[in-house]
């Protein structure tokens, strides 16, 4: 449309543009409907007759909770119907982005419940809820520590692809020094220092020499993989009793320590408060980082450096020093995560990453993105991935569920892909993440 206004010609162009929020609403609503129908039809109608039994107490619990019996078919159908209702709400009404995060959690819980209602009516027998939650927490601990390492680095503006490598070197150093010193504390300290050393390596090349941080992280991972493989062959392969004896003797086995009172809380007590010191240390690290990042001067300066380093420098914040310190601390936290693979689990070091860390550092990076660089949300994402790892035995060939075992092997990585590419949607990293500072 053209309109004459004196000597000025105003051209107005009408263009039909698809509304992205409406398109996203329809897509997510349709996906939720499919999940709901699959849960109701696949798990509900596919369930055997009878109840699914859930054990909510362990043999040593002071408060015994009776076994919960739920009609498997009805329970799974109800879960599926509830997911379909949420999908219909998204299709016709729309759910805000902030509420959608919680909706995703609710849908995930309903889907998992539907799965257990279906599995519990078969030959699996009574489902041990306490054991499953405890296993999920154990699997999640190194992922949680990896995400906290990522928070420390990326909130400061340095991309941390090298979480996997820092974990691997921490696992190696912990096993080696712990065995040589015949002391688990020395092994944990060595793992933390080794992770900090490679954190310092990342910091020097990223901050001082302005190397591309993504490429640098990949190189560090490969360097650690080759270095630990060489040292394993040189020392541990032929003399494991001397250099790699974690879990081989009582002095090198980390015991669980129950916290009196808290251990007796039904369900959550045996899960959270009857474990080893590395897990307790993980609780402390998450709480400290979550509080410090948003409620202290250090946290304000860290976020300022990660968002706008030049503006931070103008008010007297030492940008380089802040990044150096946080990246090294992040490396030390990742090293502690590596110590959990050997010292915390009582397992001797294995030569390659596939047998030791198994990509947990990359899953931690995905949890960091899924949690939007927020410590609490990243914790939730890490627990989700830990739960998928705990579910893997249900998909092995020797279970009566008749599900191909390869599905269980790829389940954590499938969830990682869906979380980052599908559920989380568009995310915004700290503005200066990966941007070198030359001021």
Domain ranges (residues) in the chain: 21-125, 133-423
Q: Do residues 174 and 245 make contact, with C-beta atoms less than 8 angstroms apart?
A: no
Q: Do residues 343 and 178 make contact, with C-beta atoms less than 8 angstroms apart?
A: yes
Read out DSSP for 62-74? Answer: SS--PPEEEEHHH
Residue 286: partners with Cβ closer than 8 Å, 6 or more residues away: 144, 148, 375, 376, 379
In tens, the pLDDT along 362-375 reads 999 989 988 889 99
Please report the pLDDT score of residue 407 as a whole number.
67
Mean pLDDT across the chain: 86
Q: Which of 97, 228, 133 is nearest to 174 (CA)?
A: 228
Please report the pLDDT score of residue 385 as a whole number.
86
In tens, the pLDDT along 325-354 reads 999 999 999 999 999 999 999 999 988 766
Please indicate whether residue 119 or residue 54 has the higher confidence score (pLDDT): 54
Q: What's the full length of the chain, in residues?
A: 439
Bridge partners (DSSP) listed for residue 55: 128
- Residue 47 phi/psi, 5-degree rounding, is -75, 150
Average pLDDT over residues 151-172: 96
pTM comes to 0.88
In tens, the pLDDT along 288-331 reads 999 999 999 999 999 999 999 999 999 999 999 999 999 999 99
Give 344's DSSP letter: I
Please indicate whether residue 401 or residue 89 has the higher confidence score (pLDDT): 89
Check pLDDT > 80 for residue 424: no
Output the CA angle 322-323-328, nearest 5 degrees.
105
Q: Which of 428, 425, 422, 420 is nearest to 385 (CA)?
A: 420
In what helix (H) or strand (E) does residue 8 lie, and over which residues does it extend?
Answer: strand 8-11
Tell me how crowded residue 370 is: count the other CB atoms within 10 A of its CB.
25
Bridge partners (DSSP) listed for residue 5: 8
Average pLDDT over residues 220-238: 94
Q: Look up the CATH architecture of domain 133-423.
A: Orthogonal Bundle (1.10)
Q: Do residues 71 and 44 make contact, with C-beta atoms less than 8 angstroms apart?
A: no
Check pLDDT > 50 for residue 5: no
Strands 257-258 vs 68-71: parallel, antiparallel or unpaired: unpaired
**Cα 439 from chain centroid (whole Å):** 34
Half-sphere exposure of 321 (CA within 13 A, CB side): 7
């Amino acid at each position: 449309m053209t309109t004459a206004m004196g000597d000025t010609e105003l051209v107005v162009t009408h263009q039909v543009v698809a509304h992205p929020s409406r398109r996203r609403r329809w897509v997510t609503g349709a996906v939720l409907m499919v999940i709901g129908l699959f849960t109701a039809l696949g798990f509900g109608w596919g369930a055997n007759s009878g109840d699914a039994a859930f054990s909510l107490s362990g043999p040593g619990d002071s408060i015994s909770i009776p076994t919960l019996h739920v009609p498997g078919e009805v329970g799974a159908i109800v879960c599926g119907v509830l997911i379909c209702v949420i999908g219909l709400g998204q299709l016709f009404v729309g759910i805000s982005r902030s509420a959608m995060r919680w909706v995703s959690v609710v849908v995930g819980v309903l889907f998992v419940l539907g799965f257990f209602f279906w599995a519990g009516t078969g030959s699996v027998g009574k489902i041990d809820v306490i054991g499953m939650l405890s296993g999920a927490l154990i699997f999640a601990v190194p992922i949680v520590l990896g995400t906290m390492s990522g928070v420390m680095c990326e909130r400061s503006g340095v991309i941390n692809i090298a979480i996997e490598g820092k974990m691997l070197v921490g696992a190696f150093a912990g096993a080696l020094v712990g065995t040589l010193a015949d002391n688990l504390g020395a092994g944990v300290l060595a793992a933390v220092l080794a992770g900090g050393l490679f954190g310092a390596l990342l910091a020097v090349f990223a901050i001082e020499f302005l190397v591309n941080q993504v490429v640098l992280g990949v190189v560090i991972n490969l360097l650690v993989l080759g270095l630990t493989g060489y040292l394993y062959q040189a020392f541990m392969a032929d003399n494991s009793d001397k250099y790699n004896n974690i879990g081989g003797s009582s002095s090198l086995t980390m015991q669980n320590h129950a916290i009196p009172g808290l251990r007796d809380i039904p369900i959550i007590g045996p899960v959270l408060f009857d474990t080893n010191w590395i897990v307790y240390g993980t609780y402390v690290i998450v709480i400290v980082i979550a509080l410090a990042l948003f409620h202290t001067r250090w946290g304000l300066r860290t976020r300022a450096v990660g968002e706008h380093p030049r503006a931070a420098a103008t008010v007297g914040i030492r940008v380089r020093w802040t990044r150096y310190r946080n990246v090294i601390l992040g490396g030390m936290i990742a090293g502690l995560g590596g110590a959990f693979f050997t010292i915390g689990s009582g397992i001797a070091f294995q030569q390659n990453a596939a047998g030791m860390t198994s990509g947990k550092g990359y899953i931690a990076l995905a949890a960091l993105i899924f949690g939007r660089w927020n410590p609490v949300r990243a914790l939730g994402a890490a627990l989700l991935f830990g739960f998928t790892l705990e579910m893997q035995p249900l998909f092995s060939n020797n279970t009566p569920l008749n599900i191909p075992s390869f599905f269980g092997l790829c389940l954590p990585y499938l969830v990682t892909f869906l979380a980052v590419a599908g559920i989380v949607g568009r995310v915004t990293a700290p503005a200066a993440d990966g941007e070198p500072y030359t001021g």
